[in-house]
Amino acid sequence: MTPRAAARALCLLPFVLTIGPLLPVEAAQSPPSAIAAPAVTQAPLRTSDAYNNFGLTKEVFGYASAGSLGNSSIGYPSWNFNLLATVAFFAIHINYNGTLKTDDGNWSVWNSSTLTGLVNTAHAHGTKVVVTLVGPGSADLCNALYHDQVTVDAIVQQVVAKGIDGVNIDIEGQQAQCNPTDPQFTPQTNQTLLTWFARDLRAGLDAVKPGYYLSIATYSGSALGNDGFFNIPDLNQYVDSFFVMAYDMDYSNQHHPPLNCSSFCMAPISPLTNYYWNDTNSMAQYSSVVGAGKVILGQPYYARVSCVATVSAHAVAITTVQAASYIAAASAINDIDVKPGTYRSHRDPNDPTGMDRWDAWYDNSYGCWRVMHWSDVTTLAARYDLVNRTNLRGVGFWTLNYGGGSPELWATIQSYFVTCINATVTPVPAPPQLSGTQVQLTGGSSACANPRYEFWMLPPGGTWRIVQGYSSAATYTWSTTGLRPGIYRFSVWARDANSRGPNGTAPNTYDSFAALDYALTTSPCSGVEVSAQPPSGVVGNAVTITGSATGCPNPRYQFWLLPPGGSWSIVQPYSTQTTFTWNTNNRVPG
């Protein structure tokens, strides 16, 4: 046979028709809004929903001490930037005349490769870097505030030069009257001057680029009234957030119940409840004045420790009260000076919901019993729950260097402030299937530390219902025995164990969801036939392949093709069409 003759001869191999009585598949969706369901599609996180690239749902704000900033054990190389929203370089100091202090170690770090490394690392994770401004002592505070424009011009220049994201104000003091000797200035309270400083700094930043982040550190009781150093309502006009320094309450609570101590006695540094000054009241006061969305609950990453005469939760300190970093407090139990068998851990009896921790041991080096109050992850978790429960802006720490890379600290942050994202659902076996098949639906998600899954089902013509409530089980086993044919819709909700679910309406809330349509049939097709017209032909002729099925009321047909020397492929997917028209142009004979 000549090559030309071979090109004109064409033989057809049999077509294979795969069929089943499928029902039309509609777009998958989640339970209706009547039961607090998500929408059919899930929009990506907006800037306001996430504080960094990892999907933080709350702002996690940490001060970063300049002195150990580059330390590989406790400095920024040890921090988990996936779990940080804002890092505040601490600090640049203000001189009496408003200029920036440029002759100390902090300024040297500020102008070093260490700062560059911090900024580059943070920005790679979507984490902000801001610089903290610290005021001079009380004797020079008034003068510095009168020269606030000098400070504003200088610090804005630094923000631009370093490519950072804003400023944190940490100017502290007690309210006092300022009586300037310079006639260009009029007498004002330092409270008023601080508010003007925030106003002018806001204007200076906005003049360069609107959107720079401006925050301020304030006292835990300042929102109770306007008679202190900080006028919270007035400052609220200019700042984006308030870092509430909710620590050192052990000093402030000394003369109030339940302590009533005439000299310093050991107590929780940041009690949650049941003390005169506590986190819960402070956050409620701030939220009522500026709104919860601008309030950051500042927490101590440090401990208080002292020798005591008698061991108790509120023992009177008989030596100088010392501070210890979180790392030092967590490792105290293993210190070589601890007398074997004497170390004990407790929870504060006056603040049971706060789970405030205090430890006691006999110290061979000091020759005394020592008591230490500090926040372990159980204590911190109670505060994180307050942040979520009252929908605060976030949580903050003094300082990140005190906690370093302690894995338990970062894991607890992730557990409370990272929700489940990218939910998925996988069925085995895949649809369609006959009634009576046992199906396993498995949910999945990412980012969250402790995912929980809830499974919903919408049967044909029915209503949504929960078929398996929230649990750590990621798989739901669905028995289809006796179920009528049709499309069964499933929605799998994912929520972290410590998340209250930002979507939906309580009690039906979720972090993320995935949806699936699953087709069931009870009438399998018992037979199928196929024919071709014409049954054979030449290259270029159209061929009509026709399928027919028996034993099923609503057959659907899928057409496959196996070319000579090739592999099977679908040429027409499932549909009600009983025919497939095959264009043989440019086909290889065979």
| Each residue's pLDDT tens digit, 561-587 | 999 999 999 999 988 899 999 999 988
Question: Cα angle vertex 194, ends 190, 199, to 5°?
Answer: 145
pLDDT for the residue numbered 524: 73
Sign of CA dihedral 14, 20, 23, 27: negative
Residue % of the chain over a pLDDT of 90: 79
Cα 64 to Cα 91: distance, rounded to the nearest angstrom: 8
Q: Rounded to an integer, what is the distance from CA 340 to the centroid of its chain?
A: 41
DSSP string covering 202-224: HHHHHHH-TT-EEEEEEETTGGG
Q: For residue 33, what pLDDT is reported?
A: 38
Q: Write down the pLDDT at residue 574.
A: 85
Q: What is the pLDDT of residue 552?
A: 72
Confidence grade of residue 50 (pLDDT, cut at 50, 70, 90): low
Task: Report whether 453 contacts 470 (CB < 8 A).
Answer: yes
pLDDT of residue 295 exceeding 80, the answer is yes
What single-letter amino acid sits at 293? G
More confident residue, 312 or 434: 312
| DSSP annotation of 144 | H
Mean pLDDT, rounded, for 525-529: 84
45: pLDDT strictly greater than 80: no
Q: CA nearest 200: which of 124, 104, 98, 59?
A: 98
Could you tell me the maximum CA-CA distance found in the chain, to the nearest angstrom? 116
CA 181/CA 190 separation, integer angstroms: 15
Q: How far apart are CA 14 and CA 25, in angstroms?
A: 29
- For residues 83 and 122, give the distance between their C-alpha atoms in angstroms, rounded to a whole number: 11
Q: Please tell me whether residue 555 adopts helix, strand or coil conformation.
A: coil
The structure tokens 């601890």 sit at: 338
pLDDT at res. 11: 29
pLDDT per position as a tens digit, 448-499: 989 999 999 999 999 999 999 999 999 999 999 999 889 999 999 999 998 8
Residue 258 DSSP SS3: coil
Matching residue, tokens 């024919």? 531
Task: Specify the pLDDT at position 313.
Answer: 96
Residue 27 is predicted with a pLDDT of: 34
Whether residue 340 is predicted with pLDDT greater than 90 in this model: the reply is yes
- Greater confidence (244 vs 536) lies with 244
Over 90: is that where the pLDDT of 526 sits?
no
Share of the chain above pLDDT 70, in %: 91
pLDDT digits (tens, 9 = 90+) for 186-200: 999 999 999 999 999
Residue 553: band (very low, low, confident or very high) from pLDDT cuts 50, 70, 90? low
Can you read off the two tokens belonging to residue 487?
């499309």
Mean local confidence (pLDDT), 535-548: 90
pLDDT for residue 47: 32
For the stretch 363-410, pLDDT in tens is 999 999 999 999 999 999 999 999 999 999 999 999 999 999 999 999
Q: Distance (Å, rounded) from C-alpha 66 to C-alpha 115?
A: 9
Residue 43 reports pLDDT greater than 50: no
Strand pairing of 177-178 and 166-170? unpaired
Q: Is the pLDDT of residue 215 over 60?
A: yes
The pLDDT assigned to 52 comes to 82
Of the listed ranges 5-19, 164-178, 364-378, 494-508, the one predicted with least confidence: 5-19
486-496/451-458 β-pairing: antiparallel
Structure tokens at 423: 């939910």
User: Is the pLDDT confidence value at 14 over 60?
Assistant: no
Average pLDDT over residues 106-130: 97
Alpha-carbon span 589 to 265, nearest angstrom: 97
Q: Output the pLDDT for position 144.
A: 96
More confident site: 207 or 541: 207
Q: Alpha-carbon distance 479 to 481, whole Å?
A: 6
Average confidence score pLDDT of the chain: 90
Helices (H) and strands (E) counted in the chain, each on its own, are 13, 31
Q: Band the pLDDT of 302: cuts 50, 70, 90.
A: very high
> In 3-state terms, what secondary structure has residue 330?
helix
